[in-house]
Amino acid sequence: MAKGKTATVFFCQNCGYESTKWLGQCPGCREWNTFVEETIDKTVLKNTGTGSRRERREASEPCVLSEIAIREENKTLTGIKELDRVLGGGIVQGSLTLVGGDPGIGKSTLLLQVCHNLSEAGHKVLYISGEESKVQIKMRADRLGTFSEHMLLLCETNLDIIGEVIRRSKPEVVIIDSIQTMYNENVSAAPGSVSQVRESTGILLQLAKGLGISIFIVGHVTKEGTVAGPRVLEHMVDTVLYFEGDRHASYRILRGVKNRFGSTNEIGVFEMRETGLAEVKNPSEYMLNGRPENASGSVVACTMEGTRPLLIELQALVCHSNFGIPRRQTTGTDFNRVNLLMAVLEKRSGVQLSSCDAYVNITGGIKIQEPAIDLGIVLAILSSFRNKALNPKLVAFGEVGLSGEVRAVSMAKQRVAEAEKLGFEECVVPLVSLEECKKGSKIRVIGVSSVQDAVDKVFG
């Protein structure tokens, strides 16, 4: 490498912040001791793309916006409805999608199933693995079914070779498993480093946009649950999908964190089986399986995930503390939100919770941040405190304010319809949504205006 064309920089391994000197604390993410030294080639910043200058100029020609036609055939169905919903209706031609998740969660299995369905439909698919051998992938593929001749497999980590293979074979969809194993020879850093991951993604981005190929990138996650490497990765790609759930549990949740072609609120629910990932078409019924009968502290609430209502079980355990400072713990919901709701209960309803330990759990391992579950949390805490079981056929939803009022939430009628479909008999809703929810509903709808009003009508 020619003298004067290299530079030593320091990158934050957590967020990708770049500095000319080593820093103890990263100014970007405020983490300590995350900076690593890397030597980069200055010419890489000028020549990270593929193809000639003439090709790039032709690809950058402007066009008239009003003449661009949007057609449904621009989206390719994967054959997995849950995945198509999260993607916004299918795979968009020329898109770059990042799939992240814990090791063993099912990222490679899901993408291999997508390859199977697409190849069976006659689409040319190229699966590129940098972590497993051809024999290992073949053994896993045999459990999913028989693949057609449209499915191609390549075990390679050199992006120069990968780019040549993609341009020569011209597949419609490419799977990169994983981005941390890929390397660009122009970057002197080791594979998996911040600069390698960033430059490798840049090359794949130009391949996707320049050739109109849909590319899926598998990314490892850190202990905090975010994709390893610089945060700029999520800004470069079109779609970011996260696999959630305990690897030892049978179900998985696919969530869209970023999507330029659809909503980011949609989720897909899958169940891990011996033959791969199976779609869960009724997540509400699946989440409520094994619910205890006549147990205090258990309430069913309804949350919205995009356009889909989802019934979940909220559990609370309240008991007197043996120490001076009571313990509070939450699983699946915001810890500070639960403390706020307990303070509202104590102030507005006179329930003495200051000397009690409190544990709140959303069963199934799902994480919910929507304020619509506030009313369910309040009823679950009060049910456990009084040791009085609620009606097992009751569903509650509504946002609770600091003055104790129960506020309206979006899509209330759809939530009531979901509860009715699963055989529930009562639904506690905000009073302002009562008339809307009663229309066409056969179940009993109870409107409440405040926390105290809910306590009187539910426990009264």
Q: Based on the fold, state whether residues 252 and 296 are members of the same structural domain.
A: no
- Using DSSP bridges, classify how beta strands 308-320 and 328-331 pair: parallel, antiparallel or unpaired: unpaired
Instruction: Report yes or no on 57 lying in a domain.
Output: no
Which backbone phi and psi does 168 adopt, to 5 degrees? -80, -45
317 and 182 share a domain?
Answer: no
- Whether 63 maps to a domain, the answer reads no
In a domain, residue 309? The reply is yes
Sheet containing strand 18-19, edge to edge, reads 18-19, 6-12, 35-41
The reply to whether 297 and 402 lie within a common domain is yes
Statement to judge: residues 116 and 264 lie in one domain? yes
**In the 8-state DSSP scheme, what is residue 69?**
P
The range of the structural domain enclosing residue 442 comes to 286-459
Do 293 and 254 share a structural domain?
A: no
Claim to verify: residue 36 and residue 179 sit in the same structural domain? no
Same domain, 194 and 79: yes
For 104-169, give the DSSP string. TSSHHHHHHHHHHHHHHTT--EEEEESSS-HHHHHHHHHTT----TTEEEEE--BHHHHHHHHHHH
Binding site as annotated, residues for ATP: 101-108
Q: Does one domain contain both 310 and 276?
A: no
Shared domain for 385 and 333, answered yes or no, is yes
| Residue 56 counted as domain residue | no
Mean pLDDT of 314-321: 94
Which pLDDT score, from 0 to 100, does residue 19 have?
87
Q: When comparing pLDDT for 426 and 232, which is higher?
A: 426
The mean predicted confidence, pLDDT, of the chain is 86
Percentage of the residues of the chain whose pLDDT score is greater than 90 = 53
Do 236 and 353 belong to one domain?
no
Judge whether 84 lies within some domain. Answer: yes
Number of structural domains, the chain? Answer: 3
d(CA 406, CA 398): 6
Exposed e or buried b per residue across 41-59, where buried means at least 16 C-beta atoms within 10 angstroms of its C-beta: beebeeebebeeeeeeeee
**How would you classify the pairing of strands 276-279 and 267-273?**
antiparallel
Alpha carbons 289 and 286: distance in angstroms, whole number: 5
Q: Is residue 65 part of a domain?
A: no
At residue 72, the pLDDT reads: 55
Residue with tokens 């915001």: 334
What gap in Å lies between CA 181 and CA 189, rounded to an integer?
12
- Mark the binding-site residues, compressed into ranges: 101-108
Section 237-246 average pLDDT: 86
Q: Residue 51 above 50 pLDDT?
A: no
Question: Has residue 59 been placed in a domain?
Answer: no
The per-residue pLDDT for 54 is 40
Q: Could you say which DSSP state residue 272 is in?
A: E
Q: How far apart are CA 255 and CA 95, in angstroms?
A: 18
pLDDT tens digit sequence for 21-30: 899 998 888 8
User: Do residues 86 and 111 share a domain?
Assistant: yes
Q: How many CB atoms lie within 10 A of CB 336?
A: 10
Residue in the block written with tokens 């995350």: 34
| 63-120 pLDDT, tens digit each | 898 887 766 557 899 999 999 999 988 999 999 999 988 888 889 999 999 999 999 9
Looking at the predicted structure, is the pLDDT value of residue 360 above 70?
yes
Tell me: the pLDDT tens digits for 361-395?
998 778 888 999 999 999 999 999 999 999 999 99
